Amino acid sequence: NAGVTQTPKFQVLKTGQSMTLQCAQDMNHEYMSWYRQDPGMGLRLIHYSVGAGITDQGEVPNGYNVSRSTTEDFPLRLLSAAPSQTSVYFCASSYFFTPDSGNTIYFGEGSWLTVV
Amino acid sequence: SQQGEEDPQALSIQEGENATMNCSYKTSINNLQWYRQNSGRGLVHLILIRSNEREKHSGRLRVTLDTSKKSSSLLITASRAADTASYFCATDQRGSTLGRLYFGRGTQLTVWP
């Protein structure tokens, strides 16, 4: 049981390049999400998915695309990288919440992205 | 902002001392969670407290919740150097998208040997 696996761990991109951050989980979680973490800003939600074929925008979705073709995978695509997207990206997953259940979220180890 | 806000931003103590971190939030919640992040790593869930609970314990951790004040505190007793990390509160807000948590900016705890 690997949990949430993110790749790559580190990446340097040039402005305008595109790339995909991969995320996979083996816990059969319905809910998956992508956050970015910047100094002094905490974690901000980029996109999330409540199941295969269903995605929605979070707090800071501009410049990013996602898809959820399977329960296990939730890749994050940067369409045309900008220096403002330099950040640490975290993928996370959980069982589906209800107001009474309050499930916990499992995080990947992070992907450090630098856009020059 | 809908985020929780942790206080203090940074806390430095000696081993054996207790560490207290606070979290304030703005809206009604279903539950509040605390996470820990070691440097260069992902976040790890510590404890969840529901809106109808006032106090919860897990090992050396004690969490309180005051919904009337919209605040929570995390107490780590008898701190160890290995407790050095950033601690985040996250709220599951009533009426928000199910599964969406709102994270604060975190408290950086340093425990000196």
Query: pLDDT of A3-23, one tens digit each?
Result: 999 999 999 999 999 999 999
B87 to chain A: which residues are within 8 Å by CB? none
Residue A106 pLDDT exceeds 60: yes
A48 to chain B: which residues are within 8 Å by CB? 97, 99-100
Question: What is the pLDDT at residue A84?
Answer: 96
- Mutation target for B interface from A9, A33, A43: give the one with most B CBs within 10 A: A43
Question: What is the pLDDT at residue A2?
Answer: 75
**Cα B56 to Cα B41: distance, rounded to the nearest angstrom:** 26
pLDDT digits (tens, 9 = 90+) for B15-71: 999 999 999 999 999 889 999 999 999 999 999 999 999 999 999 999 999 999 999
pLDDT digits (tens, 9 = 90+) for A25-74: 999 999 999 999 998 778 999 999 999 999 999 989 999 999 999 999 99
Question: What is the pLDDT at residue A100?
Answer: 64
Which residue does chain A place closest to B43, by CA atoms? A107
Q: What is the three-state SS of chain B?
A: CCCCEEECCEEEEECCCCEEEEEECCCCEEEEEEEEECCCCCEEEEEEEECCCCEEEECCEEEEEECCCCEEEEEECCCCHHHCEEEEEEEEECCCCCCCEEECCCEEEEEEC
Q: Distance of CA B30 to CAs A57, A70, B99, Å? A: 22, 29, 11
Question: What is the pLDDT at residue A42?
Answer: 84
Residue B1 pLDDT exceeds 50: no
Question: What is the pLDDT at residue A97?
Answer: 67
Residue B2 pLDDT exceeds 90: no
